[in-house]
């Protein structure tokens, strides 16, 4: 194994992470101290690897930009957890390095434990409302995709389907937000308003994504296919976010959400065909 090349790579990554944490500390007010601490630690790790390479090496610019971009889209906790997962994948390589340089064993153990402890301290308010977000997303994906499938084969005209879908979706978003508000109020929660807002907002955004294909395509079958693909993509992205931010199993949650959503869509599709045939409705 090329230990020298590996150590050089890690040295550059430690410097890059030093810059990432330093930049994040400027925008994350309540977590600034933790991030500054992590940033300083990364610089110390860079200096440790430098003793072996005898070189000053540059940071990785793409890695720096990529993680800052992710922090803007998915938030601080997601980004830090993703960086930690990346670090954990090096465990088997660390074992090989320790065999060659036994003096590093203590340092690497302290490094991992310290970083995990610090990252566990970091907190973001929106993660307190994950339950409300999941409720809004799941309900929108299952209910509206199912409704659009049924409407597609009952109406077979994309503009009519889009209009009916929007009306149904907006009404359902308001209904879900109201139900969440009343539910949290009954639990004497002090954040019932925010929980309702997260539920309604996530539901409404999902509605827009699912209905858009019916405004773009004139073929209702193609529009439905694109809507189903969007459905699966949204489930995959949101499930990945949850699996990283909340340390959950991606495969299990994705399988559950996708199966339920697509199952309801298939049933609604059959109901739409059945009602159109039985009632002899022509639009």
Predicted confidence at residue 230, as pLDDT, reads 92
Query: How many domains in the chain?
Result: 2
Does residue 61 have a pLDDT over 90? yes
Domain match, 82 and 137 both: no
Domain match, 110 and 222 both: no
Q: What is the mean pLDDT of residues 242-250?
A: 80
Instruction: Please indicate whether residue 24 or residue 191 has the higher confidence score (pLDDT).
Output: 24
Among 57-66, 91-100, 221-230, whose mean pLDDT is lowest?
A: 91-100
Q: Look up the domain containing 105 and give its range.
A: 3-123
Domain match, 168 and 84 both: no
Domain match, 209 and 115 both: no
Does residue 48 have a pLDDT over 80? yes
Domain match, 187 and 261 both: yes
pTM for the whole structure: 0.71
> Residues of the chain with pLDDT > 70: what percent?
84
Domain match, 134 and 12 both: no
What is the SS3 assignment for the chain? CCHHHHHHHHHHHHHHHHHHHHHHHCCCCCCHHHHHHHHHHHHHHHHHHHHHHCCCCCCCHHHHHHHHHHHHHHCHHHHHHHHHHHHHCCHHHHHHHHHHCHHHHHHHHHHHHHHHHHHHHCCCHHHHHHHHHHHHHHHHHHHHHHHHHHHHHHHCCHHHHHHHHHHHHHHHHHHHHHHHHHHHHHCCCCCHHHHHHHHHHHHHHHHHHHHHHHHHCCCHHHHHHHHHHHHHHHHHHHHHHHHHHCCCCHHHHHHHHHHHHHHHHHHHHHHHHHHHHHHCCCC
Considering the chain, what is the average pLDDT of its residues?
Answer: 81
């Amino acid at each position: 194994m090329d230990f020298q090349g590996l150590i050089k790579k890690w040295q550059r990554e430690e410097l890059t992470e030093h810059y990432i944490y330093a930049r994040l500390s400027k925008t994350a007010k309540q977590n600034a101290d933790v991030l500054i601490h992590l940033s300083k630690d990364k610089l110390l790790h860079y200096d440790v690897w430098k003793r072996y390479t005898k070189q000053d090496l540059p940071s990785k610019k793409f890695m720096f930009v990529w993680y800052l971009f992710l922090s803007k889209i998915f938030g601080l906790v997601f980004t830090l957890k993703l960086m930690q997962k990346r670090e954990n994948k090096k465990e088997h390589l660390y074992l090989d390095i320790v065999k060659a340089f036994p003096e590093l064993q203590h340092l690497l153990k302290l490094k991992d434990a310290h970083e995990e402890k610090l990252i566990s301290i970091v907190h973001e308010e929106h993660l307190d409302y994950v339950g409300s977000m999941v409720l809004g997303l799941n309900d929108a994906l299952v209910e509206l995709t199912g409704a659009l499938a049924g409407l597609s084969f009952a109406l077979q005209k994309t503009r009519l389907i889009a209009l009916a879908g929007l009306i149904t979706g907006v009404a359902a978003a308001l209904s879900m937000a109201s139900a969440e508000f009343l539910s949290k109020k009954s639990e004497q929660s002090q954040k019932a308003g925010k929980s309702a807002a997260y539920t309604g907002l996530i539901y409404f955004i999902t509605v827009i994504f699912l209905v858009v294909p019916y405004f773009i395509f004139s073929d209702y079958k193609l529009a439905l296919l694109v809507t189903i693909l969007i459905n699966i993509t949204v489930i995959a992205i949101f499930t990945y976010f949850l699996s990283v931010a909340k340390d959950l199993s991606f495969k299990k949650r994705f399988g559950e959400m996708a199966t339920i959503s697509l199952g309801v869509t298939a049933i609604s599709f059959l109901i739409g065909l059945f009602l159109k045939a039985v009632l002899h409705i022509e639009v």
